[in-house]
Amino acid sequence: MSIEGRVAVVTGSARNLGRAIAEQLAANGARVVINARSRDKVDEVVAELKAKGYQAHPSYRSVATPEGCAGVIADAVEGFGTVDILVNNAAIITYRLIHEMPDEEWLDVLNTDLTAQFRTTKAALPHMMEKKWGRIVNVSANAAMAGSAHRSHYAAAKGGILAFTKATAKEYGKYGVTANAIAPLVQTDERSAEGEEVPYGALYSHHNQTTRPDLQTFSAAPDTVMPRAHPRDVAPLVAFLASEEAWYITGQVISASGGRWM
Amino acid sequence: MTDKQSSRVVLITGASRGIGLAVAEAFARNGDIVSITGGRDRQALDDAVGRLRSVQPDASGAMVDAKNKAEVDGWLAATVSRWGRIDCAVANAGVINPTPFLDITEEQWDTVVGTHLKGTFLLMQGAGRVMAETKTGGSLITVSAPAALRASNGVADYASAKGGIIALTRNLSKELAPFDIRVNCISPVAETRMTDALQVYRKLDAAAWARLSPGGRMPQPHEITEPFLFLCSPGARFITGQVIAVDAGRSV
């Protein structure tokens, strides 16, 4: 499946799913831009990829600002001359009930999880339109379809991503640009509401099952069709959607969650 | 990226021509052992098997009416007795006869719905039973159509069957997961005898028909085979119960 030589930007790719996606794309022959705010972690991933003989370029921008989003694409142009594949993966999350959620918290999550995807897409599209070739993969979540307790802002942003993805597909199909969304469920580290990084499971033991007593107002029975995947199990889907051969697939939402959304 | 694996046993119904044959050829090129069926045209089936054997000598074919349980079971039994297992099955067999809804006969309804929906049921159950017995897991793929995802016209029987196939896919994805069997659906568009029939029925010239495709042209079947291979690859191991339209956004 060919993505050899393509330039891929993966936002939020210093760890977890973004990192696994970047590694998969690099392994398939793409030149990848590793993006995150943490300089050390970005440098570490870039060095690791280069040690494997892959081509990688760092981007230390935060996608929380318009300048940061444009900057990520500018970094790709600086490093590799263009951008062919954009994977909008960066996201933040907090856990709070709606009636307790401050406006700022809602807006912060919408800004990073939804608006940033618009901004990076906007910056990347001219490069793709010029070549009449582009692949955009937006990372959504099952919460987009099913909603999710204690993270209404996140669910709303992920739902917005689906409509945005379909709109992108409609506007740019004629330029050879496809846009698809994935809804993965993978085991990742998470950040607590205080910004502290915690291992997966410390906040939630299961999908929709919180271990925090103060959040135990809703607990859906987890529909565990398959175990939760490792990020590297989901990354091949992104590589597939980014490939030449997936040219006729656009505007789709594909859940890679072991059968949790069907 | 499709994680080339050789010698999987792959079954595809309705593969004498069109998308079915293109998919069979793609699996054969991957080194897989493909067994295909044709329903009506022996010569077309023989030609198709000949093409497949030039790529992978172990390819085989059988004349099978997809909605006839005895014929489907006979084909499955012969395949299993030869190769011992089934790794992937694609329920692709179908017929279309664009007809105004008010004119569809009971006989046509039974033929069209039977071939698509009952045919999919028979293959999924037969192959699913083999996979469950051999405990080897596997990947099942059903084939739907844009007519099931968005309003169409002149194909009420076909659209109903294709909609049923999506519901069947979702049900099976849950029910067969304990057997490590994944079940997904592809809704493809490519230039085939089916799209020719629709084009004639809707009185569209080739240019108008092409404009329906955002790419400005209808792909040939061999251009849309990769999603079938991907869904049968290890890279799709956490993907089940999904419906993926391979139609350039037509149904979005």
SS3 content of chain B, % helix, strand, coil (to 5): 50, 15, 35
Chain A residues within 8 angstroms (CB to CB) of chain B: 1, 28, 166, 169-170, 173-174, 176, 184, 225-226, 229, 233-234, 236-237, 239-240, 243, 245-252, 254-259, 261-262
Average pLDDT along chain A:
88
B142 in Cβ contact with B120 (< 8 Å): yes
pLDDT for A91-130, tens place per residue?
A: 999 999 999 999 999 999 999 999 999 999 999 999 999 9
- pLDDT at position B206 is 76
pLDDT for B220-235, tens place per residue?
A: 999 999 999 999 999 9
- DSSP result, B95-135: ------GGG--HHHHHHHHIIIIIHHHHHHHHHHHHHHHHT
Determine the Cα–Cα distance for residues A94 and B25; give it in Å rounded to an integer.
49
The percent of residues above 90 in pLDDT, for chain A, comes to: 76
Determine the Cα–Cα distance for residues A213 and A262; give it in Å rounded to an integer.
30
Q: Return phi, psi of residue B187, to 5°.
A: -115, 90
ipTM beyond 0.95? no
- pLDDT at position B141 is 98
- pLDDT at position A198 is 52
User: What's CA B145's distance to the chain center, in Å?
Assistant: 10
Residues of A with Cβ-Cβ distance to B233 under 8 angstroms: 236
User: What's CA B26's distance to the chain center, in Å?
Assistant: 13
The CA-to-CA distance between both ends of chain A, in Å, stands at 26
Determine the Cα–Cα distance for residues B217 and B6; give it in Å rounded to an integer.
33
Asked if B226 and A243 come within 8 Å (Cβ–Cβ), the reply is: yes
Chain A nearest CA to B149, separation (Å) = 12
Chain B nearest CA to A172, separation (Å) = 9
Asked if A240 and B239 come within 8 Å (Cβ–Cβ), the reply is: no
User: What's CA B156's distance to the chain center, in Å?
Assistant: 19
Determine the Cα–Cα distance for residues B1 and B15; give it in Å rounded to an integer.
25
Asked if B242 and A255 come within 8 Å (Cβ–Cβ), the reply is: yes
* pLDDT tops 60 at residue B242: yes
Chain B nearest CA to A99, separation (Å) = 34
Domains of chain A as residue ranges with CATH = 7-188+227-256 (3.40.50.720)
CATH number of B9-189+220-246: 3.40.50.720
Confidence of residue A190 (pLDDT cuts 50, 70, 90): low
Catalytic machinery residues of A? 154
Find, in chain B, the residue whose alpha carbon is nearest to that of A226. B177
Contact residues for B135 (Cβ-Cβ < 8 A; gap 6+): B179, B180
Chain B nearest CA to A168, separation (Å) = 10
**Helix (H) / strand (E) containing A108:** helix A103-110
Residue type, B73: D
Integer-rounded Cα radius of gyration of chain A:
17
Task: Kindly give the interhelix angle for A152-172 and A116-131, rounded to the nearest 10 degrees.
Answer: 20
Of B236, B240, B241, the CB nearest to A237: B236
pLDDT for B119-153, tens place per residue?
A: 999 999 999 999 999 999 999 999 999 999 999 99
Structural domain spans, chain B: 9-189+220-246
Determine the Cα–Cα distance for residues A143 and A58; give it in Å rounded to an integer.
31
Strands A85-88 and A134-139: parallel
- pLDDT at position A260 is 79
Asked if A1 and B234 come within 8 Å (Cβ–Cβ), the reply is: no
Asked if B2 and A262 come within 8 Å (Cβ–Cβ), the reply is: no
Confidence of residue B250 (pLDDT cuts 50, 70, 90): confident
pLDDT for B153-184, tens place per residue?
A: 999 999 999 999 999 999 999 999 999 999 99
Strands A56-59 and B88-91: unpaired
Determine the Cα–Cα distance for residues B231 and A167; give it in Å rounded to an integer.
26
**Helix (H) / strand (E) containing B188:** strand B181-188
